[in-house]
Amino acid sequence: MSSDRQIDRRSFLTAAGGAAAAATLAGCSGDGGDGTDGDGNGESGGNGTDTGESGGDGASDQTLVYARGDHPENYDPQQTTSGEVAKVTNQIFDTLIQFAPGSGGQLEDALATDYSLDGTTATLTLREGVTFHNGEEFTASDFKATWQRFTQSGYQYYLGDETRSGYGPFTLGDWIESVDASQDYELSIELTQRYAPFLRNLAMFAAAVLSEAQIEAMGDNQADLGTEPVGTGPFQFDTLDNPNERIRLTANGDFWGDGPNVGTVIFKTITENSTRVQDVINGASHITDNLDSSGFQRAEESGTATLLRKNGINHGYMAMNMARFEPFRNRTVRRAIAHAVNTEAIVNQIYQGFATQASQPLPPDVLGHNDDLDPYPTDKDQARSMLEEAGYGDGFEFELAMFSNPRGYNPSPVQTANQVKSDLEDIGLTVNINQFSNFGPYLDYTSAGRHDACFLGWYTDNADPDNFMYVLLDPKVSMDAVPDGQDWVSFDTEGYSTLNVSGWANSEYMELVREAQRTYTESDRETMYQEAAQIAHDESPWVFIDYAETLRAVNEAVVADSYTVSSVGGPYLNTVELQ
């Protein structure tokens, strides 16, 4: 594509170089949900019975119950990186553009009905007649206020550097120079540079459009917006029941899109995985996610529930923190660890074949995935030899931080940690497992760089290679901030992104992924990402563990095909029907 060619909404999937259409989770966010330790036995909606007044026009009086493993207490899309929050906020809020349900990232109309990216200018025509749940009309000024609250420190209602999530800079803040909202139903957005993924960023959960009226009404209490969120989505916020770890949403009868088809949605928390799966099998819940390996089989064999499967766009990995732990600064040490960890056993025996071995940061089905790269073969003799070569023949001791409850990209974290510990002990290393029961504090710990090594993973937010390659492995610091001859930087470097939990800062890699951002020609982007993937594979800042399928257990009370499993965006509960 030439530099002056326009990218319009119908051609953008191809032109911007997103995922191949063959691939098809809740977009998000550095996690897919998991959680705390309590019972989580909230009120069930058993088999779609009513637990309150019905929703608006077109919605029945039935209740859809979504069981999950964690209960965050704030549902502001600008304050979180949690996919557990996004499951709820994606029902309450809309974005300007959205991902088509079930697709691998194909864009479609949402609050905008037409959109294009030409050079550094994005132009959008907005949907008329849309109202927020507070009765305010949606206009261009709502998006401008949303952007300012998230990214502009000079804005009166700026959320704050310590309060906003890490999504602020890489979703909107780093890329938008100005927003012209002078016309109610037209937006003109000027970018700081050519940026190929921009329209896809507008479909991410963190780019949800807030009500300007609510932002202004919150005044200095912006951090509290997430306890009473107001959007334009198919369901409106009703009750946040923290003691019982439940959230109740009711149907928005004025929703501009399809559905909703139920009057109420309840998100209830059941932290014990076997209990949560059984809840769906029994019909007390209708849908659940983040299944462990035993849950896969129980759902399939139950007779009352179905296991829905789809190729995922995600990656589970073990990051080695070079900024904190000196031995990890040696590439030979990192490669030795990659050869020692038996990822084949992890995916085939522990994850029981619902995942494949990873070889690089980009999952298959995403533009730039390098098919020439193979997973590191398990070779402990070679690993020992490499440690000897690096000067660590006597071994060393380090901490492995881990979460407790299953996540889509790591459905059995305890077993996975024990496998890693055993494999590395075989080559003379001592691994001290630091297990967190709650995921929120775990993310705080890893974001602060307090770990030696850690398990993490990523679900795509926008099905673009940038969302993995830049977001997770570029430190987002100035190139000048990386000392000559060094491939890591400290977490306190100005501008550092703590989503890069390895501290890795390889200049050649950084130059490639930053150039790929500015390139609109798909073939050129593909080549750059393949080269960057080769560097990441060879340098091994992570142990690349797995690419997991997207799995959901669904009770037979859900009408077949009314719930669409997606690997990006969603969950799409507005279309769900109950028997």
Cα–Cα distance, 95 to 548 (Å, whole number): 27
447, containing H or E segment: helix 439-447
The pLDDT value given to residue 494? 94
Joined together, the tokens standing for residue 532 give 């960057």
Joined together, the tokens standing for residue 6 give 């326009």
Q: Judge contact between 133 and 237, C-beta under 8 A.
A: yes
Q: Judge contact between 487 and 55, C-beta under 8 A.
A: no
- H-type alpha helices, 413-561: 413-425, 439-447, 466-473, 507-517, 522-539
Query: How do residues 66-103 score in pLDDT, each as one tens digit?
Result: 999 889 999 999 998 888 899 999 999 999 999 999 88
Number of H helices, E strands in the chain: 16, 20
- The amino acid present at 104, given as its one-letter code, is G
Q: If pLDDT is split at 50, 70 and 90, which confidence band does 297 have?
A: confident
| Cβ contacts of 162 within 8 Å, gap of 6 or more | none
Return the axis-axis angle of helices 466-473 and 522-539, rounded to nearest 10°.
40
What mean pLDDT comes out for the span 323-350? 97
Q: Judge contact between 290 and 35, C-beta under 8 A.
A: no
What mean pLDDT comes out for the span 540-559? 96
SS3 561: coil
> Domain residues of the chain, as ranges?
6-290+551-555, 314-548
The pLDDT value given to residue 58? 61
Q: Judge contact between 386 and 337, C-beta under 8 A.
A: no
| Cβ contacts of 563 within 8 Å, gap of 6 or more | 287, 308, 552, 554, 571, 572, 573, 575, 576
Residue with tokens 């206020």: 145
Handedness of CA 451, 453, 457, 463 (dihedral sign): positive
Q: What is the mean pLDDT of the chain?
A: 89
Q: Which of 283-292, 389-398, 471-480 has the lowest mean pLDDT?
A: 283-292
DSSP 8-state class, residue 72: -
Q: Does domain 314-548 have CATH number 3.10.105.10?
A: yes
Residue with tokens 């202004």: 216
Residue with tokens 């039935």: 62
Q: If pLDDT is split at 50, 70 and 90, which confidence band does 272 have?
A: confident
pLDDT at residue 476 is higher than 80: yes
| Cβ contacts of 9 within 8 Å, gap of 6 or more | 97, 107, 109, 114, 115, 116, 199
What mean pLDDT comes out for the span 332-345? 98
The pLDDT value given to residue 91? 98
The pLDDT value given to residue 82? 84
Cα–Cα distance, 196 to 117 (Å, whole number): 9
Give the CATH number of domain 6-290+551-555: 3.40.190.10
The pLDDT value given to residue 35? 29
Query: How do residues 401-442 score in pLDDT, each as one tens digit?
Result: 999 888 889 989 999 999 999 999 999 999 999 999 988 899
Phi, psi (degrees; rounded to nearest 5) at 256: -75, -20
Handedness of CA 193, 199, 204, 207 (dihedral sign): positive
Q: Judge contact between 34 and 441, C-beta under 8 A.
A: no
Cα–Cα distance, 44 to 158 (Å, whole number): 38
The pLDDT value given to residue 375? 98
pTM of the model: 0.83
Going across the sheet that includes 453-459, the strands are: 355-357, 542-548, 314-320, 453-459, 397-402, 430-435
Q: Can the peptide bond before residue 260 be classed as cis, meaning omega within 30 degrees of 0?
A: yes
> How large a percentage of the chain has pLDDT more than 70?
90
What mean pLDDT comes out for the span 249-265? 97
Joined together, the tokens standing for residue 253 give 């009868």
Residue with tokens 């590395």: 424
Query: How do residues 5-53 score in pLDDT, each as one tens digit?
Result: 233 333 333 333 333 222 222 233 333 333 222 333 233 333 333 333 3
The pLDDT value given to residue 30? 37
Joined together, the tokens standing for residue 35 give 């959680």
What mean pLDDT comes out for the span 293-304? 87
The pLDDT value given to residue 359? 98
Q: Is 548 left (phi over 0), alpha (psi -120 to 50) or beta?
A: beta
Query: How do residues 109-146 score in pLDDT, each as one tens digit?
Result: 999 999 999 999 999 999 999 999 999 999 999 999 99
The pLDDT value given to residue 293? 74
Residue with tokens 């939990």: 501
Beta-ladder partners of 553: 288, 307
Joined together, the tokens standing for residue 33 give 């949900």
Cα–Cα distance, 196 to 53 (Å, whole number): 45
DSSP 8-state class, residue 80: -
- The amino acid present at 34, given as its one-letter code, is D
Better pLDDT: 296 or 480: 480
What mean pLDDT comes out for the span 247-263? 97
Phi, psi (degrees; rounded to nearest 5) at 410: -150, 80
Cα–Cα distance, 283 to 268 (Å, whole number): 14
**DSSP secondary structure, 130-190, as one string:** -B-TTSPBP-HHHHHHHHHHHH-TTSTT---TTTS-THIIIIIITTEEEEEEEETTEEEEE
The pLDDT value given to residue 271? 86
The pLDDT value given to residue 439? 85
Residue with tokens 């602060």: 448
Q: How far is CA 284 from CA 41, 45, 551, 561, in A?
A: 11, 6, 19, 20
The angle at the Cα of 27, spanning 151 to 181, to the nearest 5 degrees, equals 35
64, containing H or E segment: strand 63-68
| Cβ contacts of 11 within 8 Å, gap of 6 or more | none
